A and B are shown apart, each in its own frame.
Chain A
Amino acid sequence: MEDMIHVDRAMSTQQDIKISARKVQVYYGDTHAIKDVDVDIDDKTVTAFIGPSGCGKSTFLRCINRMNDTIDVARVEGDILIDNEDIYDAKVDPVQLRAKVGMVFQKPNPFPKSIYDNVAYGPKIHGLARNKAELDEIVERSLRKAALWDEAKDRLEAPGTGLSGGQQQRLCIARAIATAPEVLLMDEPCSALDPIATAQVEDLIDELRQSFSVVIVTHSMQQAARVSQKTAFFHLGNLVEYDATDKIFTNPQDPRTESYISGRIG
């Protein structure tokens, strides 16, 4: 255990910082939902956001690909830098940003189209494939990465909504990675899934770490402990503690973190 912590720490110091947030504030109308959050998220790492319901972890996640722009009353202040570029700069088009920062939602939400079209949609609108063969290849690669190829290869033309819940969520992951993003945001991706499907998705997340920086919001502390290398604990809109996962779960510095992971709050 000690060794592992040591290894993880060694890893994190070597890695580049992919996302860096400074003094981020989010307001929903008059509600101050996120207060002064500073966080550096490493590349090729799984970072988990945990915390009780309503603590702002999903809100903060949605800031990273500017999905909060779609909510009229939401207002974001502060800086979020991806590869040292401010994504809230006036020159940034959120559409272009979202191609670089993919997202998987809480409830599996495949398009009511075929499995193939679900995965091919992103590459098509971004012009990532010059012809059908390239598109086929992207679809296959994405489905393989999402560990869905074996189950879906014989029925690519079947509707994506006809898959089981776990398969649908993996399809959504395939759809998200088909646009070749650099960061993958996952908003409680397993909350609508049964334990077996959850285990499959968790294995997948671990593999995805090879290629992406993954940020996952989860309700389940066990899940955070299983899949992430770093964990951030949110409470009432504040980032309370952010450190290596093992450290958070074995030796939390803040009393609030300790209360939460030991089940006394949240």
Chain B
Amino acid sequence: MTDATSSAPAAAPSPAQRASLLTESPRMKKRNAAETRFKMYGVLAISIGLAFLVFLAYSILRNGIPAFTQTVVNVEFTLTQEQFDDAESRMLKTAVYTDIFVENVTAQFQEQGLDVEFDGDTIERLLGKVGGDLRSFYRENPDQIGQAVALQLPAASRVERYLQGRLTRDMVVDGRFLEVADLDVVDVMVDAGIIGSAFDWNFITGTDTGVDNPGGAGIGASVIGSFFMMLVVLLLSLPIGVAASIYLEEFAPKNKFTDLIEVNISNLAAVPSIVFGILGLAVFIQFAHLPQSAPLVGGLVLTLMTLPTIVISTRASLKSVPPSIRDAALGVGASKMQAVFHHVLPLAMPGILTGTIIGLAQALGETAPLLLIGMVGYVAREYPDGLTSGLLDPNSAMPAQIYTWAARSDEAFFEKAWGGIIILLIFLLTMNIIAIILRRRFERRW
């Protein structure tokens, strides 16, 4: 045995060549180093992505959160029966209420040793139409007369920006909106500790305002506009998209023509959305004479845009159903249609729903096509009343509203735009979460 090994040294590796398993060979070292490097690149890429995400989330929240709060002035106010009767008997009733309010607040300031002169016009510039609000409050709640009432009065957006330091005294030029002397009153109010902040429900439920009132602008009407658009998109693109995919995937003969259709569907998914916008303008508004800026038209345009996405995802999920299920159904004598509708479609449903929701989410955030059909720039001042009005009356949509606000020259609208982005993102996140839940719940069970 020993003879045999010594006589054939060429066959067996010499002790020097025979590598120990405990030491790494140079080649192995290189391979391991390459792997470590690759992993590090991956970690680096993800870190950069995460850093951008954190930065994005931070800036959105920092700029957008102020849109949800509102600077308010807290005043304790008492109106006696005599004052009420007196005011109601005068010609300019609201002006009287304003004067009573001014007297009341001045008295409160003097109690605290603060001295400032101001009149009803100043109050109206700072807090809006206080007199009118007070009058309607007491006419509706006569039992509050003679009682001390804690009032929370929303301050004008300029006051808010002055307090945030974004508006300085030398920037005040237009006396119609604000005078420099008014800011002294604001300073006194701050000293008196009556300025606070409150959640601004009006931003969520309110409607858009003109360019002169950034504080009162709300996104509510355009949320409704988006809702009606999504309704149209869902009702049209889901049945059409699913039916088209089922036909193409399960029934259509495979030939040059269906190949062409297939290629074109994939291409349509990549067509820039503004192209769909101009198509919608030409077909729905100029040819079919549907009203401009209507959510119905917006929905139709977005349907065109969403259809390829839905068709592609539906076909993918139909394809992923194992052929053995089709064989099984055909094998017991089910017709093609029964096999598809009884067995294949239910199994493909989670994928179809996920694709549809993703498509809807995409459509919800789409702005470009809405530019061309007149939804961007439309000032949605009113809520639609009812279904027809919701579909046919001009309205805005969330992304269009954000665009409109961002394009306005008054800086106060910028925070509204950021706030609108937060609301839009909340809707998108909710839809994506629903998609994930659906996928998890109906995960393939075969």
Which residues of A come within 8 Å of B, CB atoms?
A: 65, 67, 70, 72, 95-99, 102-105, 107, 109-112, 121-122, 125-126, 159, 161, 172, 175-176, 178-179
Encoded as 1 (CB less than 8 Å from any A CB) or 0, chain B from 295 to 335 comes to 00000000000000000000000000010111111111111
B331: chain A residues at CB < 8 Å are: 65, 67, 98, 102-105, 176
**Extra inter-chain contacts (9) besides given A70-B327, A125-B338, CB under 8 Å:** A67-B327, A95-B333, A99-B332, A105-B327, A109-B328, A111-B343, A125-B342, A161-B446, A176-B331
Q: Which of B328, B331, B335, B338 has the most CB of A within 10 A?
A: B331
Binding site for A on B (CB under 8 A): 253-254, 322, 324-335, 338, 342-343, 347, 445-446
B441 to chain A, nearest CB (A): 14
Tell me the minimal C-beta distance from A180 to chain B in angstroms: 11
- B332 contacts across to A, CB distance below 8 A: 98-99, 102, 121-122, 125, 175-176, 178-179
Q: In the docked arrangement, what's the CA distance between A159 and B150, Å?
A: 65
Which residues on the A side are within 8 Å of B322 (C-beta)?
109
A69 to chain B: closest residue by CB:
B330
Q: How far is the CA of A7 from the CA of B255 in the complex (A)?
A: 54
A-B contact count (CB 8 A): 68
List 4 A-B pairs, minimum CB-CB distance, nearest first. A99-B333, A109-B324, A122-B332, A103-B331
CB-CB under 8 A from A110, the residues of chain B are: 328
| Complex Cα–Cα for A110 and B328 (A) | 7
Which residues on the A side are within 8 Å of B342 (C-beta)?
Answer: 121, 125
Inter-subunit contact B446/A112 (CB<8 Å):
yes
Known: A159-B445, A161-B445. A111 touches B333 (CB 8 A): no
Contact, CB under 8 Å: A125 / B328: no
Tell me which of A96, A105, A107 contacts B333 (CB under 8 A).
A96
CA distance A121 to B446 in the complex (A): 17
What is the CA–CA distance of A111 and B344 in the complex, to the nearest angstrom? Answer: 10
Measured CB to CB, the nearest residue on chain A to B255 is: A72
Q: A161-B445, A161-B446 are in contact. Are A111 and B330 (CB under 8 A)?
A: no
User: Which listed residue, A102, A109, A175, touches B327 by the CB 8 Å rule?
Assistant: A109
Give the distance in Å from the alpha carbon of A111 to the alpha carbon of B254 in the complex: 27
Q: How far is the CA of A126 from the CA of B331 in the complex (A)?
A: 13
Q: In the bound complex, what is the Cα–Cα distance between A171 and B332 (angstroms)?
A: 13
Contact between B334 and A95 (Cβ–Cβ < 8 Å)?
A: yes
Residues on B with C-beta less than 8 A from A175 are: 328, 332
Closest to B337 in A: A95
Residue of B nearest to A100 (CB): B333
Query: Closest Cβ of chain B: how far from A183's Cβ, in Å?
Result: 12
Residue of A nearest to B444 (CB): A112
With A99-B333, A126-B333, A176-B332 in contact, do A112 and B445 touch (Cβ < 8 Å)? yes
Could you show 12 A-B contacts with beta carbons less than 8 Å apart? A70-B330, A98-B330, A99-B332, A110-B328, A111-B325, A112-B446, A121-B332, A121-B342, A122-B333, A125-B333, A125-B334, A125-B338
What is the CB-to-nearest-CB distance from A164 to chain B, in angstroms, rounded to a whole number? Answer: 15
Q: Which residues of A contact B347 (CB under 8 A)?
A: 112
User: A179 vs B327: C-alpha distance in the bound complex, in angstroms?
Assistant: 16
User: Which residues of chain A have C-beta atoms less than 8 A from B330's C-beta?
Assistant: 67, 70, 98
- Which residues from chain A contact B326 at a C-beta distance below 8 Å? 70
Q: Which residue on A lies nearest to B446, using beta carbons?
A: A112
Measured CB to CB, the nearest residue on chain B to A159 is B445
Q: Which residues of B contact A178 (CB under 8 A)?
A: 332
Complex interface: chain A residues within 8 A of B333 (CB): 95-99, 122, 125-126, 179
CA A122 to CA B333, docked complex, whole Å: 7
Query: Which of A95, A105, A159 interacts with B335 by CB under 8 Å?
Result: A95
Contact status B328-A172, CB under 8 Å: yes
Chain B residues closer than 8 Å to A159, beta-carbon distance: 445
Measured between beta carbons, the chain B residues less than 8 angstroms from A122 are: 332-334
Q: Report the minimal beta-carbon distance from A12 to chain B, rounded to whole angstroms.
A: 28
B443 CB to nearest A CB, Å: 11
Of A103, A104, A175, chain B has the most CB atoms within 10 Å of the CB of: A103
Q: Is the CB of B334 within 8 A of A105?
A: no
Contact of B328 among A72, A95, A99, A111 (CB under 8 A): A111
A172 CA / B331 CA spacing, docked (Å): 10
Say yes or no: B329 contacts A111, CB within 8 Å.
yes
Residue of A nearest to B343 (CB): A111
Contact B446 A105 (CB under 8 A): no
> Which residues on B sit within 8 Å (CB–CB) of A70?
326-327, 330
- Residues on B with C-beta less than 8 A from A172 are 328
Cα of A98 to Cα of B325 in the assembled complex, Å: 15
A137 to chain B, nearest CB (A): 18
Q: How distant is the Cα of A175 from the Cα of B330 in the complex, in angstroms?
A: 12
When distances are taken between beta carbons in the complex, the residues of chain A under 8 Å from B334 are: 95, 121-122, 125
A198 to chain B minimum Cβ distance, whole angstroms, is 20
Instruction: Determine the residue in chain A with the shortest Cβ distance to B327.
Output: A105
Cα(A172)–Cα(B325), bound, Å: 12
* Cβ of B162 to closest chain A Cβ, rounded Å: 66
Report the minimum CB–CB distance from B332 to chain A (whole Å). 4
Q: List, in ascending order, chain A residues with CB within 8 A of B328's CB.
A: 105, 109-111, 172, 175
Q: How far is the CA of A147 from the CA of B241 in the complex (A)?
A: 45
Give the one of B331, B333, B338 with max A CB within 10 A: B333
- On chain B, the residues within 8 Å of A176 by CB distance are 331-332
| Complex: chain A residue closest to B346, CB-CB | A112
Tell me the complex Cα distance, A174–B330, Å.
15
The CB with the most chain B CB atoms within 10 A, among A98, A99, A172, is that of A98
Q: How far is the CA of A159 from the CA of B253 in the complex (A)?
A: 34
CB-CB under 8 A from B324, the residues of chain A are 105, 107, 109
